[in-house]
Amino acid sequence: MNKRPLGRSGLQIAPLVLGTNVFGWNTDERTSFSLLDQFFDAGLNAIDTADMYSVWAPGNHGGESETIIGNWFKASPSRREKAVLITKVGAELAPDKKGLSAGYIMAAAEASLRRLQTDYIDLYLSHYPDPATPVEETLRAYETLIQQGKVRAIGASNHSVPQLREALQASSRENLPRYEVVQPAYNLYDRDGYEGELRDLCMDEGLGVITYYGVASGFLSGKYRSAADESKSQARGNRMAKYLNERGFRILDALDAVAAAHDATPAEVALAWLIAHKDVTAPISSVTSTEQMDSLIRSTRLTLSDGDIQALNTASRE
């Protein structure tokens, strides 16, 4: 499977990233191992996690996903060298465990490495911006981790254009490592946050782009077509309400039509639409069963025609 470069980091990934926010939440370790094996056996190679997954689940404290991935690496050591391992720091685990200060990053990185049972993180992301910490301090902490061989490259998630531009300027000015990858929310429905200034900046700076919410928390799978369908979701909070409108239904109709033409599912088409974007390195998607993983893999092999993409774009316009 063809690999795509992650900015100027030297890392290369297949055109879809496995999201593991479900590991240790609604997916147990045994199932998680099977999904990881299935994913890698298909020629895919990038895993996305974070130290905060899944702090929201009752009884969890964060780090559950990393722990499962670490146990999988231990059980399948040859997988580690083939994997591009992405994790994140900065989200709140507890009142005293959050942010991007140098001290916290160094401690959090060591904790992630222990849970992941590895010596290095391929791509370490600032999960959220930290207005209380100068960006130079954050970048110097990452510089230390890179010099120690514990991190290969860095990136930013959930950063605005001004925040990202400030970080890139600080890297250039102070000769510090720069964010090589951006992780924004982006899908057929939620387009404004990425398209425009952020996309232009990423393209101008040669940044890799790994998108999340590729199927809009499940809405683009087609299984949520009314308020009553909300009960089908294990997602946190009421995420479907904003999609259940004329535009959302128009997008579903277009997905249904393209899916029928390709003997595919709406979710596979939604992910294939993202994969077809030259400005997107890869979307992230999570699954909880082998059947869903089969579908995920099929999405990487689905080629949409120009007419398909035009129909989807037309339906998703405001």
CATH number at 167 reads: 3.20.20.100
The alpha carbon of residue 59 and the mean position of all alpha carbons in its chain are separated, in whole angstroms, by 24
Annotate 56-97 with DSSP letters as a single string: TSTT--S-HHHHHHHHHHHHSHHHHHH-EEEEEE-S-SBTTB
In a domain, residue 191? The reply is: no
Tokens of 193: 């946050």
Q: How many residues does the chain have?
A: 318
Q: How far is CA 171 from CA 50, 85, 286, in A?
A: 24, 23, 32
Tell me which DSSP letter residue 226 carries: S
Instruction: Enumerate residue ranges in the chain where pLDDT < 70.
Output: 230-237
In a domain, residue 305? The reply is: no
In a domain, residue 129? The reply is: yes
Tell me which DSSP letter residue 90 carries: -
Reference 207, options 139, 173, 161, 176; nearest CA is 161
In a domain, residue 77? The reply is: yes
In a domain, residue 292? The reply is: no
Strand 12-13 to strand 4-5: parallel, antiparallel, or no bridges (unpaired)? antiparallel
pLDDT reported for residue 318: 74
Query: Rounded to an integer, what distance in angstroms lies between the CA atom of residue 6 and that of residue 180?
Result: 7
Q: How far is CA 60 from CA 104, 139, 235, 277, in A?
A: 20, 30, 16, 36
The torsion angles phi and psi of 284, rounded to 5 degrees, stand at: -100, 140
In a domain, residue 162? The reply is: yes
pLDDT reported for residue 233: 60
Asked whether 87 and 127 are in contact (CB, 8 A), the reply is no
In a domain, residue 53? The reply is: yes
Query: Rounded to an integer, what distance in angstroms lies between the CA atom of residue 283 and that of residue 166?
Result: 25
**Is the whole model's pTM more than 0.75, yes or no?**
yes
In a domain, residue 13? The reply is: yes
Report the number of distinct structural domains present in the chain. 1
Q: Give catalytic residues, as residue numbers.
A: 53
pLDDT reported for residue 237: 54
pLDDT reported for residue 236: 46
pLDDT reported for residue 225: 87
Query: Rounded to an integer, what distance in angstroms lies between the CA atom of residue 251 and that of residue 313?
Result: 9
- Structural domain including 108 reads 4-183
